[in-house]
């Protein structure tokens, strides 16, 4: 089971996240990014975080520790934003914490040009995302972090934010386990991911027993009866059965068609041109307020 902690201080909201998670300190002296049950995405996002995050951990991926965090909205009684206050008030009790990777850097498109990712690692991450139907690791939002960015250890890729995965659990009755999804614009698609090799390595390890173990880490309170499932254990079994059937059908959904950097740049340019043609004349005169992307870093000094 996941460790349980109690939040002792609400530090700040993270407005860049669609669900507005928050940074908290806890009674174990740890600092966590807290994902709230009261967010618009609801408890299913937390279920996906646990199942995908813990499955990834069991398969040897780097994932920040997940904890079950008890939260009292009174900790943030001075929070000035009403939207955040409403979220916190709706999230009293048990929420999901992710170990805060202090000093970590998002794998942005600019950083991805210089940060080395070999074909094997890229293939393993793409394979995991395809298995768990994680459609939210794209070139525009990688949900990958480079950490540590400084220090003795070389920087590595860490997997975060899996709340948008397991899309089948929103419509259990219409999603087939063998269904293929479009992963051409995956964040690591231009790193020549060796997905067949990942399938040969990882698929045999995703057993029904492993899936049952991972789903047991989801709290009962987040597994509400639905779509013919009467108890939390029946919902757990549905997740395990679906993912087991999906891994056995991997040859039918295995993504292999990825654009290279030049093709991706051409697609983005064409998309931007279409968008520009559709903008009104007055909007075309608005200056770029975001400025130029930050300079690319040379990571070679930090690598083995």
Count of CA atoms in the C-beta half-sphere (13 A) of 42:
7
Average pLDDT over residues 40-59: 96
Q: Are strands 93-99 and 31-35 parallel, antiparallel or unpaired?
A: antiparallel
Give the confidence band of 301 by pLDDT, cuts at 50, 70, 90: very low
Q: What is the DSSP letter of 36?
A: P
C-alpha distances in Å from residue 63, one per residue of 52, 67, 158, 264: 10, 12, 6, 28
- Give the global pTM: 0.87
Helix (H, G, I), strand (E, B) or coil at 171: coil
C-alpha distances in Å from residue 256, one per residue of 125, 126, 298: 13, 10, 29
**pLDDT tens sequence across 62-119:** 999 999 999 999 999 999 999 999 999 999 999 999 999 999 999 998 998 889 999 9
| Residue 283: predicted pLDDT | 57
Percent of the chain with pLDDT over 90: 72
| Residue 304: predicted pLDDT | 44
User: 148 with 103: CB under 8 angstroms?
Assistant: yes
| Angle 197-200-205 from CA coordinates, rounded to 5° | 130
| Residue 140: predicted pLDDT | 86
- The number of beta carbons lying within 10 Å of the beta carbon of residue 89 is 14
**pLDDT tens sequence across 188-233:** 998 999 999 999 999 999 999 999 999 999 999 999 877 688 899 9
| Residue 266: predicted pLDDT | 81
Give the confidence band of 235 by pLDDT, cuts at 50, 70, 90: very high
Residue of 96, 129, 135, 66 whose CA lies nearest to 222: 96
Letter string b/e over residues 244-282, b meaning 16 or more CB atoms within 10 A of that residue's CB: bebbeebeebbbeebbeeeebeeeeeeeeeeeeeeeeee
User: 135 with 107: CB under 8 angstroms?
Assistant: no
C-alpha distances in Å from residue 14, one per residue of 33, 123, 293: 9, 30, 21
Give the confidence band of 290 by pLDDT, cuts at 50, 70, 90: very low
Residue of 275, 267, 2, 243 whose CA lies nearest to 134: 243
Q: Where in the chain are the domains? A: 3-99, 107-253
Measured CA to CA, the distance from residue 107 to residue 104 in angstroms comes to: 9
**Average pLDDT along the chain:** 89
User: 162 with 132: CB under 8 angstroms?
Assistant: yes
| Residue 264: predicted pLDDT | 72
User: 137 with 144: CB under 8 angstroms?
Assistant: yes
């Amino acid at each position: 089971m996941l460790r349980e902690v109690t939040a002792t201080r609400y530090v700040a909201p993270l407005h860049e996240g669609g669900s507005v998670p928050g940074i908290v300190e806890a009674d174990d002296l740890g600092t966590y990014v807290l994902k709230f049950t009261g967010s618009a995405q609801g408890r299913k996002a937390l279920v996906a975080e646990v199942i995908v995050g813990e499955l990834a951990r069991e398969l040897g991926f780097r994932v920040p520790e997940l904890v079950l965090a008890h939260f009292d909205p009174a900790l943030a009684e001075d929070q000035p934003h009403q939207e955040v206050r409403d979220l916190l008030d709706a999230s009293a009790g048990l929420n999901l914490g992710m170990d805060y990777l202090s000093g970590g850097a998002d794998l942005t498109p600019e950083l991805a040009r210089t940060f080395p990712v070999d074909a094997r690692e890229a293939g393993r991450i793409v394979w995991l995302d395809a298995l768990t139907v994680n459609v939210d690791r794209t070139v525009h939002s990688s949900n990958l972090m480079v950490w540590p960015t400084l220090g003795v250890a070389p920087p590595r890729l860490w997997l975060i934010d899996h709340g948008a995965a397991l899309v089948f659990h929103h419509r259990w009755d219409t999603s087939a386990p063998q269904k293929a999804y479009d992963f051409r614009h995956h964040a690591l698609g231009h790193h020549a991911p060796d997905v067949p090799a990942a399938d040969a390595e990882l698929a045999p390890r995703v057993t029904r027993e492993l899936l049952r173990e991972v789903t047991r880490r989801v709290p009962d309170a987040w597994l509400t009866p639905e779509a013919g499932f009467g108890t939390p254990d029946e919902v757990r079994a549905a997740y395990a059965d679906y993912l087991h059937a999906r891994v056995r059908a991997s040859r039918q959904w295995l993504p292999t068609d990825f654009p290279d950097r030049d093709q991706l740049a051409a697609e983005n340019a064409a998309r931007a041109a279409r968008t520009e043609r559709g903008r009104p004349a007055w909007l075309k005169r608005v200056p770029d307020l975001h400025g130029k992307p930050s300079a690319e870093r040379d990571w070679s000094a930090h690598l083995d």
